[in-house]
């Protein structure tokens, strides 16, 4: 009967393979990662179905926690020992590290065994070139497929928000997506939310338009360095956005994510297992080629589909829908029951064969499952689990031993615990252990000192229990070691802390949470007038204080905030009232639970009034009330000392208000002071305990951040400050103004070891922030330092050059091509340094402007040019116009017009021969004041020219409203004529516009005949440039004017 039943079953199961086959499954990561679990389930489910007799061996390399280059050699030794007697028929591996391990060690550990891999990104044939028997399936995210289905389900989408962190793998994925984006450029716009902090990301998601969707690339680490789990990251996306969220990996399809065409860990595992069965069943080819098409699937979350009103009929065929509690219709259920009934007979037949064939496999799998469960528990435990034989030698050591003592498990096997201890301790510990072993008794919580591989002493707390063989004879001990080094250190620190409190000169009192005194030190007994602790212990801790109302405030503050600091009036045992400063707080355990109250005092009776006055005068700024330089320097020294003790950093942020001088000069000093007060008030609201904000001087403030862990935290503070200062306009008694700040940052000790150096470096960084457009922050770098030194040196040379007369003027002729005569000269400054030679104006003019030297230099240029120009006016060919460039700083001087008048009277130059050249930006900053000054100049007969026209705030409005005589076409537009048609069009338009407004024209930078001819054809007759003459010394101007240059006259174009 049994043979007949077996025969029937064999007819139904022709594909059963009886030969047992050993398959090693090697994972790169721990099974605690969902990806690893899903890959493994895909592999094992498929193999169990197709090869029921196969023996599966699971190994997890855990390379997320251990660097591959460190753990690979150890794993090689471990596997060589563990599988010395096991012959594998095939190896399955998941992800890159496992494949790399097998490429390196397969031939020595498992020679000739075929390898099938999965989960491999960026695969190329070169990866396995020269290695026989390797095949597998690649992994590739389908960004195009996900975008296609998302846009199909949301046809009104016009924007796709891409969310990613800045980890290397995330940036690599983003780069791959960017290659796909052009395919969708006509349908949607892409916006990248890259590396944002959580608040910034939440804000950005909430502000997305209604026609947007979100593509969750990888956001598991924010800008502040905090890591997020997959559920936390998904919730962050879906809970702060009303727009649908899509992803490209299966483990993200949860917590509100709609779905996508995803990389599936299970599909990866199944595909790899399919290749394995192909090889093990002897099909051709013997080693199939690598599957280069990632087996991605459509996967969606049912709840998310419901949220956005997407029916399953709109999804691609074969889509996997998660979290659908009951999608079966009654008809489907009925069909299911019929199917189950129809297969019942087959199930009964199959059961018999399963019992016969799988009894051994079931037993083996149960044992392996138990082993895997035990191994998972052991290898994930935070303690070191071990086993020793009766000689005390290790026969097993969990992986945790490497974290505790630096040894790989294989390095410990065969050694005794006492070989890992200092000699002075090992003997005593061995005797103690032997006493337990002799009696076969367990031992608990034994403390012993072990030596780390690097020589450090590690205190371990050891517990062990004996185990016995089948005859009841002691076989060894099994136990755990726990690292209590930190606990011992904390205990010692507590002892030292109590000693410090007892010896402290600061009166200190502690009480329980009900206020009953539990401890006082000698300093407290002295100040309160008590002779012994017994007089105080058990009494109300606040009985020492007089003002009951203030005591109530202290109690309330301790209850709500856990801390109070301030001044109180106290009374000694003899009734003497004294002023004390109290710092009181709630002492908490590591779990954050309150344990006791603690207060420390300082008797300030004698010094209070004097210190208050001195403090006000010496340490605080009168205008803003902020700490001044003196107090800031004190705080900096304290912060630096604290940083040294804590092996930490401190940060100095130097803030300089942008455009403050303009506001101050325009609205007056009273409103400038009011702006400084309001800025100070905003800064006060941003600082935390221990931080200092001070007024450094003028419109500069300093923020001192102690105990800084990294630059990202400092950058976050800098961004908050910039947002705080620009969040709202400032109301200055009816005048609303906008002000931002440029911030320079220097770190202690990285950028300097003293206050002066750090502030100097912060100032250098702030200067760079201003150069880069203002309203920004820069960290100091050595490159900045070198540039600052060079700039400082050049500035010093400029100062000396003014006094030594190292500057001289040259003049570039301006010609009228209608008459062929020279009509003007533009004064240009040159610097002949005895040390540097001839220095370019492009090098020293910006430094002069930044340092304020441009004012005396500009005045020298004007005075010298006017004096030298007077001599030209007696030429037979008539007077010459003198063009002089003015800086913005000169123009904004309150007595600017008076200074011009003074120079003209002093030199005797006719005002009508003076033309002042200004750039457009000079008078656009304050139009009303600029018009007033220009009108005053015009009234005196002085001409006004716009220099470099078209490169700044070019506008018909100001050309119409400002009293301007002449436009200078910038060399920038002339230089590339006739090669650049755009420049030619701009010049033509400028000439036409000037003619229509009745303005005069002159083109600068004319260097070729082609440029001259084009300008003449367009109607521009006055020009200057190297084509006519290089700039001339003053004594050559007269000779040049006497010449009759032969100029080509070109008729104006129609």
What pLDDT score was predicted for residue 17?
A: 39
Asked if pLDDT for residue 160 goes beyond 90, the answer is yes
What pLDDT score was predicted for residue 345?
A: 44
Confidence of residue 258 (pLDDT cuts 50, 70, 90): very high
Confidence of residue 1052 (pLDDT cuts 50, 70, 90): very low
Least confident of 70-79, 126-135, 404-413, 660-669: 660-669
Least confident of 157-166, 368-377, 392-401, 543-552: 368-377
53, 78, 89 from 84: Cα distances, Å: 22, 10, 14
Q: Label residues 78-117 b or e (16+ Cβ within 10 Å = b).
A: bbeeebeeeebbbbbbbbbbbbbbbbebbeebbeebbbbb
Q: What is the pLDDT of residues 573-582, one digit of tens each?
A: 888 888 888 8
Between residues 543 and 49, the one the model is more confident about: 49
For the 504-606 domain, the top CATH level (class) is: alpha beta
Residue 247: name the closest of 231, 232, 264, 259 by CA.
259
Between residues 127 and 962, the one the model is more confident about: 127
What pLDDT score was predicted for residue 1053?
A: 45
Contact 742, 655 (CB under 8 A): yes
What pLDDT score was predicted for residue 24?
A: 96
Confidence of residue 7 (pLDDT cuts 50, 70, 90): very low
What pLDDT score was predicted for residue 369?
A: 57
Averaged pLDDT of the chain: 84
Only one residue has tokens 């003198």, namely 882
What pLDDT score was predicted for residue 150?
A: 93
| Mean pLDDT score, 874-884 | 81
Q: How far apart are CA 937 and CA 942, in angstroms?
A: 6
Asked if pLDDT for residue 802 goes beyond 80, the answer is yes
Contact 511, 567 (CB under 8 A): no
What pLDDT score was predicted for residue 359?
A: 56
Confidence of residue 525 (pLDDT cuts 50, 70, 90): confident
Strands 517-520, 508-511: pairing kind? antiparallel
Please state which CATH number belongs to domain 1-140+263-295+328-369: 3.40.50.2300
Q: Count of CB atoms within 10 A of residue 203's CB?
A: 12
Contact 194, 166 (CB under 8 A): yes
Between residues 324 and 350, the one the model is more confident about: 324
Q: Is 34 helix (H, G, I), strand (E, B) or coil?
A: helix
- Give the residue extent of every domain in the chain: 1-140+263-295+328-369, 143-261, 381-488, 504-606, 620-780, 806-1042
Q: What is the pLDDT of residues 288-324, one digit of tens each?
A: 999 999 999 999 988 889 889 998 889 999 899 987 7
Q: What is the pLDDT of residues 204-243, one digit of tens each?
A: 888 899 899 999 888 877 777 676 767 777 777 777 778 8
Confidence of residue 756 (pLDDT cuts 50, 70, 90): very high
Asked if pLDDT for residue 863 goes beyond 70, the answer is yes
What pLDDT score was predicted for residue 273?
A: 96
The rounded percent of the chain whose pLDDT value lies above 70 is 88
Least confident of 539-543, 715-719, 819-823: 539-543
Phi, psi of 869, rounded to the nearest 5 degrees: -75, -25
- State the burial class of residue 515 (Cβ atoms within 10 Å of its Cβ: 0-12, 13-18, 19+): middle
Contact 257, 301 (CB under 8 A): yes
Asked if pLDDT for residue 886 goes beyond 50, the answer is yes
What pLDDT score was predicted for residue 3?
A: 39
What pLDDT score was predicted for residue 329?
A: 42
| Mean pLDDT score, 333-353 | 47
What pLDDT score was predicted for residue 503?
A: 82
Asked if pLDDT for residue 357 goes beyond 60, the answer is no
Q: How far apart are CA 331 and CA 312, in angstroms?
A: 18
What pLDDT score was predicted for residue 615?
A: 67
Asked if pLDDT for residue 905 goes beyond 80, the answer is yes
Between residues 350 and 769, the one the model is more confident about: 769
What pLDDT score was predicted for residue 654?
A: 95
What pLDDT score was predicted for residue 10?
A: 37
Confidence of residue 14 (pLDDT cuts 50, 70, 90): very low
Please state which CATH number belongs to domain 143-261: 3.40.50.2300
| Mean pLDDT score, 950-962 | 64
Least confident of 379-388, 597-606, 796-805: 379-388
What pLDDT score was predicted for residue 373?
A: 55
Asked if pLDDT for residue 385 goes beyond 80, the answer is yes
Least confident of 442-451, 486-495, 956-965: 956-965
Least confident of 140-144, 219-223, 466-470, 735-739: 219-223
Please state which CATH number belongs to domain 806-1042: 3.20.20.450
| Mean pLDDT score, 90-113 | 94
* Nearby residues of 199 by Cβ (< 8 Å), 6 or more positions away: none
What pLDDT score was predicted for residue 343?
A: 45
Least confident of 136-150, 589-603, 782-796: 782-796
Confidence of residue 4 (pLDDT cuts 50, 70, 90): very low
Residue 243: name the closest of 349, 150, 120 by CA.
150
What pLDDT score was predicted for residue 291?
A: 94
Task: Say if domain 381-488 classifies as CATH 3.30.450.20.
Answer: yes
Q: What is the pLDDT of residues 976-991, one digit of tens each?
A: 999 999 989 999 998 9
Q: Is 22 helix (H, G, I), strand (E, B) or coil?
A: strand
The rounded percent of the chain whose pLDDT value lies above 90 is 37
What pLDDT score was predicted for residue 323?
A: 79
CA 814 remoteness from chain centre? 55
499, 629, 689, 704, 706 from 642: Cα distances, Å: 21, 20, 14, 13, 8
| Mean pLDDT score, 523-537 | 84
What pLDDT score was predicted for residue 591?
A: 78
Same fold, 143-261 and 620-780: no
Between residues 956 and 49, the one the model is more confident about: 49
Q: What is the pLDDT of residues 619-642, one digit of tens each?
A: 888 899 899 998 999 999 999 998
* Nearby residues of 166 by Cβ (< 8 Å), 6 or more positions away: 194, 195, 221, 223
Confidence of residue 244 (pLDDT cuts 50, 70, 90): very high
Only one residue has tokens 């016009």, namely 158
Q: What is the pLDDT of residues 501-517, one digit of tens each?
A: 888 888 898 888 888 88
* Nearby residues of 492 by Cβ (< 8 Å), 6 or more positions away: none
Task: Say if domain 620-780 classifies as CATH 3.30.2130.10.
Answer: no
Q: How much is the pTM?
A: 0.39
Asked if pLDDT for residue 363 goes beyond 70, the answer is no
């Amino acid at each position: 009967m049994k043979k007949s039943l077996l025969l029937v079953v064999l007819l139904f199961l022709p594909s059963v393979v009886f030969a047992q086959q050993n398959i090693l499954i090697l994972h790169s990561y721990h099974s605690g990662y969902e990806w690893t679990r899903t890959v493994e389930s895909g592999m094992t489910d498929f193999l169990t179905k197709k090869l029921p007799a196969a023996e599966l061996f699971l190994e997890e390399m855990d390379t997320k926690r251990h660097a591959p280059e460190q753990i690979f050699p150890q794993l090689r030794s471990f596997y060589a020992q563990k599988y010395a007697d096991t012959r594998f028929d095939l190896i399955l591996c998941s992800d890159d590290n496992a494949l790399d391990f097998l490429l390196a060690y397969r031939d020595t550990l498992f020679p000739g065994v075929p390898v099938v891999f999965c989960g491999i990104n960026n695969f190329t044939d070169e990866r396995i070139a020269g290695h026989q028997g390797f095949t597998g399936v690649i992994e590739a995210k389908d960004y195009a497929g996900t975008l296609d289905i998302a846009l199909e389900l949301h046809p009104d989408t016009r924007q796709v928000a891409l969310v990613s962190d800045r980890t290397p793998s995330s940036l690599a994925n983003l780069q791959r997506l960017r290659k796909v984006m052009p395919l969708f450029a006509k349908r949607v716009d892409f916006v990248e939310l890259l590396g944002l902090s959580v608040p910034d990301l939440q804000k950005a998601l909430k502000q997305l338009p209604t026609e947007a969707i979100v593509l969750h690339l990888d956001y598991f680490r924010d800008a502040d360095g905090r890591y997020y789990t997959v559920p936390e990251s998904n919730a962050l996306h879906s809970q702060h956005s009303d727009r649908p969220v899509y992803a490209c990996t299966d483990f993200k399809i949860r917590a509100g994510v709609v779905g996508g065409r995803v990389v599936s860990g299970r599909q990866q595992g199944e595909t790899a297992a399919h290749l394995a069965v192909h090889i093990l069943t002897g099909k051709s080819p013997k080693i199939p080629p690598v599957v280069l098409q990632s087996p991605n699937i459509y996967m969606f979350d049912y709840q998310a589909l419901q949220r956005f009103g997407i029916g399953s009929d709109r999804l691609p065929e074969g889509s996997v829908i998660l979290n659908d509690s009951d999608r079966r219709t009654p008809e489907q259920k009925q069909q299911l029951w019929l199917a189950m009934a129809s297969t019942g007979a087959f199930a009964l037949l199959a059961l018999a064969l399963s019992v016969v064939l799988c009894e051994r496999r079931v037993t083996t799998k149960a044992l392996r499952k138990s082993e895997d469960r035990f191994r998972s528990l052991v290898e994930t435990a935070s303690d070191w689990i071990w086993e020793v034989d009766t000689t005390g030698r290790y026969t097993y050591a969990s992986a945790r031993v490497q974290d505790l003592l630096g040894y790989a498990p294989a390095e410990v096997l065969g050694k005794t615990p006492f070989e890992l201890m200092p000699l002075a301790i090992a003997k005593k510990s061995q005797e103690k252990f032997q006493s337990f072993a002799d009696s076969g008794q367990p031992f608990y919580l034994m403390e012993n000192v072990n030596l780390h591989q690097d020589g450090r002493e590690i205190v371990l707390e050891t517990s062990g229990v004996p185990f016995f063989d089948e005859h009841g004879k002691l076989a060894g001990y099994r136990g755990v070691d726990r690292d209590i080094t930190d606990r011992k250190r904390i205990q010692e620190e507590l002892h030292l802390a109590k000693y410090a409190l007892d010896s402290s000169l600061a009166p200190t009192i502690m009480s329980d949470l009900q206020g009953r005194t539990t401890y006082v030190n000698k300093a407290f007994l002295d100040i309160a007038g008590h002779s012994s602790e017994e007089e105080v212990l058990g009494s109300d801790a606040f009985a020492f204080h007089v003002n009951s109302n203030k005591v109530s405030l202290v109690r309330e503050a301790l209850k709500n905030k856990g801390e109070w600091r301030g001044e109180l009036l106290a009374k000694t045992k003899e009734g003497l009232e004294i002023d004390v400063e109290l710092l009181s707080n709630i002492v908490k355990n590591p779990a954050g639970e309150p344990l006791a109250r603690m207060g420390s005092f300082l008797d300030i009776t004698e010094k209070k009034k004097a210190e208050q006055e001195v403090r006000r005068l010496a340490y605080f700024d009168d205008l803003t009330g902020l700490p001044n330089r003196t107090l800031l320097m004190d705080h900096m020294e304290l912060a630096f000392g604290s940083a040294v003790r804590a092996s930490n950093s401190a940060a100095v942020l130097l803030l300089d208000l942008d455009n403050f001088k303009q506001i101050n000069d325009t609205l007056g000093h009273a409103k400038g002071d009011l702006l400084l007060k309001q800025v100070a008030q905003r800064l006060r609201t941003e600082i935390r305990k221990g931080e200092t904000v001070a007024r450094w001087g003028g419109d500069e403030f300093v923020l001192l951040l102690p105990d800084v862990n990294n630059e990202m935290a400092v950058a976050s503070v800098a961004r908050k400050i910039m947002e705080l200062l620009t969040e709202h306009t400032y109301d200055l008694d009816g005048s609303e103004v906008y002000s931002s700040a440029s911030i320079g940052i220097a770190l202690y000790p990285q950028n300097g070891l003293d206050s002066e150096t750090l502030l100097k470096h912060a100032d250098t960084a702030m200067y760079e922030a201003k150069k880069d457009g203002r309203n920004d922050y820069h960290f100091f770098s050595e490159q900045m330092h070198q540039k600052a030194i060079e700039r400082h040196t050049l500035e010093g040379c400029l100062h000396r050059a003014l006094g030594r007369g190292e500057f001289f003027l040259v003049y570039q002729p301006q010609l009228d091509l209608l008459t062929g005569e020279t009509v003007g000269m533009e004064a240009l400054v040159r610097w002949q340094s005895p040390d540097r030679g001839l220095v370019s104006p492009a090098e020293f003019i910006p430094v002069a402007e930044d340092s304020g030297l441009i004012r005396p230099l500009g005045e020298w240029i004007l005075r010298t040019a006017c004096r030298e120009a007077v001599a030209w006016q007696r030429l037979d060919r008539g007077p010459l116009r003198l063009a002089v460039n003015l800086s913005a700083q000169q123009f904004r001087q309150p007595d600017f017009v008076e200074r011009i008048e003074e120079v003209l009277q002093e030199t005797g130059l006719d005002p009508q021969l003076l033309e002042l050249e200004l750039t457009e930006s000079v008078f656009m900053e304050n139009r009303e004041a600029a018009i007033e000054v220009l009108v005053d100049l015009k009234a005196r007969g002085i001409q006004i020219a716009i220099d470099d026209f078209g490169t700044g705030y070019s506008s018909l409005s100001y050309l119409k409203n400002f009293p301007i005589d002449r436009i200078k076409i910038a060399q920038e537009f002339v230089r590339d004529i006739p090669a650049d048609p755009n420049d030619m069009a701009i010049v033509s338009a400028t000439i036409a516009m000037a003619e229509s407004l009745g303005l005069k024209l002159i083109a600068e930078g004319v260097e070729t005949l082609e440029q001259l001819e084009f300008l003449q054809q367009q109607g521009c007759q006055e020009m200057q440039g190297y084509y006519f003459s290089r700039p001339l010394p003053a004594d050559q101007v007269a000779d040049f004017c006497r010449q009759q240059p032969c100029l080509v006259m070109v008729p104006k174009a129609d």
